[in-house]
Amino acid sequence: MTASSSASSSSATPARNVRPLDGIRVIDVSSFLAGPFCSTQLGEFGAEVIKAELPEVGDALRRFGSMTDAGVTLPWLSECRNKKSITLDLRKPGGAALLKKLVADADILVENFQPGTLEKWGLGWDVLHEVNPRLIMVRISGFGQTGPYRDRPGFGRIGNAFGGLSFLAGYPDRPPVTPGSATIPDYMAGLYGALGALLAIQARERTGEGQFVDIGLYEPIFRILDELAPSYQQSGFVRQRMGPGTVNVVPHSHYPTKDGRWIAIACTSDKIFARLAEAMGTPEVAGTGKWGHISARERERAEVDRIVGEWTAQFTRDDVLARCEQFQVPCGPVYGVDEIFEDPQYAARENIKYMQDARIGELAIPNVVPRLSATPGGIDWLGPELGEHNDEVFRGLLGLDTEQLATLREEGAI
């Protein structure tokens, strides 16, 4: 992978190709991860993202995660890329007034306060919609803007639990575990928030009116749990923890290899299982054999997984991969992040972006997803310094003079 250069400050935007959201302005008053990730995705595809942070304090994400020599954390540098930072205290009259001025000429506002917080400050949807009827407002909270739980605080771990994912993570005879990362709901909510904003922009082209997008952290998690809901409604089936296994299909799990590693194998049909059986040298168990139909494999799940595991354990992971690929059996290595950095597929797809930053030197971060063939997104700079763009936004965009800025600073609004 070739290192790419980036300015350490976003004050001078690098030259770039046309991006889909060029000309769209986003005001991000959210904090931590779900809301910021939403606006980051918009910024990667060309939107101008102005991130408002508390004066002197900044976003909590600046202090969450591994701290760097730059005085901010790795999540901040990675997840708040392509943003302009201003300081703004929305609790102060001057800060609230400045937000209204920003909103007047903005397309999208992203927030993830507890419901009612912006309303308490006189900055609710009704107020901002009146300021700018074309405004689109993305509202991410623990449980959404409505319902009996709307006032409850929420974080990603709560979203995983309440959404039904944590219950499924782990082994049946042990407590539920964290399903990979406690922040999955934050990223998923941010993803759906960006999708909602784009849908609302499309609707605005027809109606001329903005609207708000309402997402509870748990909702994207519940949405992606395949047949969990219809299966329960139809038969009362409550899926339990299955370790690395998967309901309805087998073998479909993680299996050990001779070199102490693990490989993922996914047989989602009888035809694929037949190919695996041939790869294993036991074609007689597939087709008209004892495990040829999924129902038979389901009945003897433990035995099927045992046989497959004993087969994979005879070979190195690379040998199993080669054998499975030869017979077109879906498989893949169970990677640690160190192996990801050395994998040629990641390199060929440039999934890891190397950024140069004057504050910390080179930093590797996940690259933009999805990739567009004609108008791709990009990363222009890492998470900015606190208030780095105050002058650009307050003077250049809003036209405030020195005396006005001094008054706002004295009030603590900026």
Task: Report the alpha-carbon distance of residue 138 to residue 110 in Å, rounded.
Answer: 5
CB contact set of 118 (below 8 Å; sequence gap of 6+): 90, 111, 124, 125
Task: Report the alpha-carbon distance of residue 58 to residue 53 in Å, rounded.
Answer: 5
Both structure tokens of 207 = 């109606």
Q: How confident is the model over 287-299, as pLDDT tens digits?
A: 999 999 999 999 9
In the predicted structure, residue 15 carries a pLDDT above the cut 50: no
Across 109-125, average pLDDT: 98
Share of the chain above pLDDT 70, in %: 96
Which pLDDT belongs to residue 326? 98
Q: What is the fold, at CATH topology level, of the domain defined by 25-224+343-411?
A: Rossmann fold (3.40.50)
- Domain coordinates of the chain in residue numbers? 25-224+343-411, 252-256+262-333
Q: In terms of DSSP bridges, do strands 212-216 and 25-28 run parallel, antiparallel, or are they unpaired?
A: unpaired
Q: In terms of DSSP bridges, do strands 83-87 and 212-216 run parallel, antiparallel, or are they unpaired?
A: unpaired
- We find that the CATH architecture of domain 252-256+262-333 is 2-Layer Sandwich (3.30)
Which pLDDT belongs to residue 273? 98
Q: How confident is the model over 307-357, as pLDDT tens digits?
A: 999 999 999 999 999 999 999 999 999 999 999 999 999 999 999 999 999
In the predicted structure, residue 7 carries a pLDDT above the cut 60: no
Alpha helix (H) residue ranges in 210-333: 218-223, 228-235, 270-279, 294-299, 301-312, 317-326
pTM, 2 dp: 0.93
- Out of 28, 89, 186, 380, pick the active-site residue: 186
Q: At what angle do helices 34-44 and 184-207 cross, to 10 degrees?
A: 60
Share of the chain above pLDDT 90, in %: 96
Number of H helices and number of E strands within the chain? 17, 11
59 is catalytic: no
Partners of residue 84 on adjacent β-strands: 50
Alpha helix (H) residue ranges in 68-181: 74-79, 93-104, 117-120, 125-131, 156-163
Which pLDDT belongs to residue 16? 56
In the predicted structure, residue 159 carries a pLDDT above the cut 80: yes
Task: Report the alpha-carbon distance of residue 162 to residue 165 in Å, rounded.
Answer: 8
Which pLDDT belongs to residue 6? 42
Q: Are residues 7 and 84 in contact, defined by beta-carbon separation less than 8 angstroms?
A: no
Both structure tokens of 194 = 């960006």
CB contact set of 209 (below 8 Å; sequence gap of 6+): 133, 134
In the predicted structure, residue 54 carries a pLDDT above the cut 60: yes
Q: Give CA 341 to chain center in angstroms.
A: 20
Task: Report the alpha-carbon distance of residue 279 to residue 284 in Å, rounded.
Answer: 12
DSSP-assigned states of every residue in 324-381: HHHTT--EEE---HHHHHH-HHHHHHT-EEEEEETTTEEEEEE--SS--SSS------
In the predicted structure, residue 123 carries a pLDDT above the cut 60: yes
Which pLDDT belongs to residue 17? 78
Q: How confident is the model over 187-212, as pLDDT tens digits?
A: 999 999 999 999 999 999 999 999 99
Which pLDDT belongs to residue 13? 47
